[in-house]
Structure 1
Amino acid sequence: MAGRLKAPTGRYGGRSAEERQAERRRRFLDAALQLFGGTPGYRATTVAALSEAAGLSTRQFYEEFRTLEDVLAALHLQVNGWAEEAVLTAVAGAEDRPLAERVTVIFRAYAANVTADPRRIRITFVEIIGVSARLEEQRLARRARWVDLICAEATAAAARGEAAPRDYRLAATAFIGSVNGLLHDWSAGWVEATLDEVVDELVRQLLGILRSVGWSPAR
């Protein structure tokens, strides 16, 4: 299909065309979270099944999206956006705390948001993998945002004398891999630990990166 079908314009039922379009899009994404993140998964879902789950028609689907891959791309960004919002709120609330407390607050906020719904974990760590070069680029770009956030926190900590001054990009990239892998394995039941224990382990790992052997905080 060359492009989306043209959506109706004008007011209907007291709502503008833009409001109705936003509502349709939300319903499609809610249905995608249910089907892609649960059963049957992205690869086994059809446009007809997604439209039925959303309570909408396939025509309305093509007014909003070109393909199911477009829906998965939008859902992946939405799930990551929820997590990022939770983290940024935690960052702002922990501004004056010592490094160890600040890192703990941030990771508790991230872990709580991502694991609040197992379907979010599946979208983030499973369904997005191997779909297409386009989605792989999006996944890596979104991961790079998390790397940037860690680097910014590390640089700020170093400026306060709470962490060793160095380039943290490589270490942050490796650490994000640990976060993703551990949270995925925990959610799948492969790690026998509470979520608090998982977060505590991640905090220890990050503090170990920020405070390398032989370095001591400024006094």
Structure 2
Amino acid sequence: MTGRLKAPTGRYGGKTAAQRQAERRGRFLDAALELFGADPGYRATTVAALSEAAGLSTRQFYEEFRTLEDVLAALHLQVNGWAEEAVLAALAEARDRTIDERVTAIFRAYAADITSDPRRIRIAFVEIIGVSPRMEEQRLARRAHWVDLICAEAETLAARGEAAPRDYRLAATAFIGSVNGLLHDWSAGWVDATLDEVVDELVRQLLGILRPPGWEPAAG
């Protein structure tokens, strides 16, 4: 399949072609969340099975996507997008709070969103691994985006005198790796702790990075 089939244009059933296309795409992604994120998983899913789960035809699939990998890529970005929206909303609400409250708000929001559905964790941390160089590049790009977010927050806190002034990129990269690993292991039942305990541990780790031993905030 060298390209997508041409989607229909014009208004039908009170909806524009763009609205119908968005609805179809959403149905395919919803079905993919179930099949890729639960059983049978991305590698064991076929175009026919995904189309059937979405209640659509394979022809309609090829109007929206070229391959199943395209669906996985879109779904991975969607899952990360939901988590980012939750984090940014929490940060906006905690804008004028202390460093402890801001950091806690970040990770309570992230953990609550990404663990709200075990299928999201599987898409974010499991199904995307080892699929292709393209998907690995996307996974690392999304990780880099989270690193950028942590660095931006650290710089904001440092400018307020609540965190040590330094280049946080290396530390943020290591920290994001620990976040992904711990949340994955917790969701798989390999960590004997509550989600609150997991979040508290992550908060302690980040606060330790932001306020290293020997550093004291400037006198206010």
TM-score using structure 1 length: 0.99
Q: Does 1:104 align with 2:104?
A: yes
Q: For 2:203 and 2:217, how far apart are their aligned partners in 1?
A: 17
Aligned ranges 1:50-129 → 2 under 5 Å:
50-129=50-129
Number of residue pairs matched? 219
Give per-residue Cα distances to partners, 1:127-157, cap 9 Å, x unaligned.
0001000010001001111000000111111
Match of 2:172 in 1: 172
Amino acid at match of 1:104: T
Shift of 1:217: 1.1
Match of 1:47 in 2: 47
Amino acid at match of 2:129: I
* Matched-pair identity in %: 85
Structure 2: runs of 5 or more not aligned: none
* SS of match in other structure, 2:88: helix
Q: For 1:49 and 1:8, how far apart are their aligned partners in 2?
A: 23
Aligned ranges 1:153-168 → 2 under 5 Å:
153-168=153-168
Q: Segments of 4+ in structure 1 off by > 6 A?
A: none
Q: For 1:168 and 1:52, how far apart are their aligned partners in 2?
A: 47
Give per-residue Cα distances to partners, 1:2-44, cap 9 Å, x unaligned.
1000111111111111110000000000000000000000000
Structure 1: runs of 5 or more not aligned: none
Match of 2:181 in 1: 181
Amino acid at match of 1:118: P
Q: For 2:17 and 2:156, how far apart are their aligned partners in 1?
A: 45
* SS of match in other structure, 1:8: coil
Aligned ranges 1:27-42 → 2 under 5 Å:
27-42=27-42
Match of 1:5 in 2: 5
Match of 1:149 in 2: 149
For structure 1, which segment, 208-217 or 48-57, has the greater mean C-alpha deviation from structure 2 after superposition?
208-217
For structure 1, which segment, 64-73 or 154-163, has the greater mean C-alpha deviation from structure 2 after superposition?
154-163
Q: For 2:110 and 2:188, how far apart are their aligned partners in 1?
A: 18
Amino acid at match of 2:179: V
* SS of match in other structure, 1:97: coil
TM-score using structure 2 length: 0.99
Amino acid at match of 2:213: V
Give per-residue Cα distances to partners, 1:155-189, cap 9 Å, x unaligned.
11111111111000000000000000000000000
Q: Root-mean-square deviation (CA), in Å?
A: 0.5
Aligned ranges 1:199-210 → 2 under 5 Å:
199-210=199-210
